[in-house]
Amino acid sequence: MQHEIIISGFGGQGALFAGQLLAYAGLAEGRHVTWIPSYGPEMRGGTANCTVIISDEEIGSPLVRRPTAAIVLNPPSFDRYEPLMQKGGVLLSNASLIAATSKRSDIRALPIKANEIAAELGAAQMANVVLVGSLVAITDVVRLETLDAVLEEHVSARHRDKLELNKQALRRGAAIAQ
């Protein structure tokens, strides 16, 4: 099985961090992985996105043109990636910021109020992690337990105080999606 995922939003929304979490989890599970970040020159507010491919077999190309899954964190990302989704794909959108809903009947589109869920946990900046939890619950791309371990290993000392909140955000996102 090969999952081709795009995560996109404004700089500062954590799109690249979300992609890294998935990539590290894929590696931890012994899968083949690519992670390619892309961002504008702005420190915050510019476009930031990444592609992640997690596969049971070798990956022929790291480019993702027709994603099997996407996490979109802002309206421009929704507008850009919703039409590109593969048939049967999963589109998770941050309904806290995106009013639009998918008109496509050939994909599974799930709007989630990720900002509100993250704020309820006490960490509004974790909307990205909420959506990663939802993606994992829907696609089984990696296990939540693997993401917990990845967080333990890769959260910097500066953000160590938010480790448990990140784990809670994953679980809340997974619960919402199910």
Structure confidence at residue 159 (pLDDT): 79
Please name which of 9, 4, 22 lies closest in space to residue 49, comparing C-alpha atoms: 9
**What pLDDT, on the 0 to 100 scale, is given for residue 162?**
87
Which 3 state secondary structure label does DSSP give 12?
coil
Query: Amino acid letter at 95?
Result: A
- In CATH, which superfamily holds the domain spanning 2-177? Pyruvate-ferredoxin oxidoreductase, PFOR, domain III (3.40.920.10)
Bridge-based pairing of strands 2-10 and 90-94 is unpaired
pLDDT at residue 154, rounded to an integer:
86
pLDDT per residue as tens, the chain (178 positions): 899 999 999 988 999 999 999 999 999 999 999 999 997 766 566 789 999 999 999 999 989 999 999 999 999 999 999 999 999 999 999 999 999 999 999 999 999 999 999 999 998 899 999 999 999 999 999 999 999 999 999 888 887 888 999 999 999 999 999 8
Looking at residue 42, its pLDDT comes to 60
Which residues sit opposite 135 in a β-bridge?
A: none
* Helices 144-154/15-28 angle, 10° precision: 110
Tell me the domain boundaries of the chain: 2-177
State residue 72's pLDDT score. Answer: 98
Under DSSP, the state recorded for 93 is E
- pLDDT of the residue at 40: 72
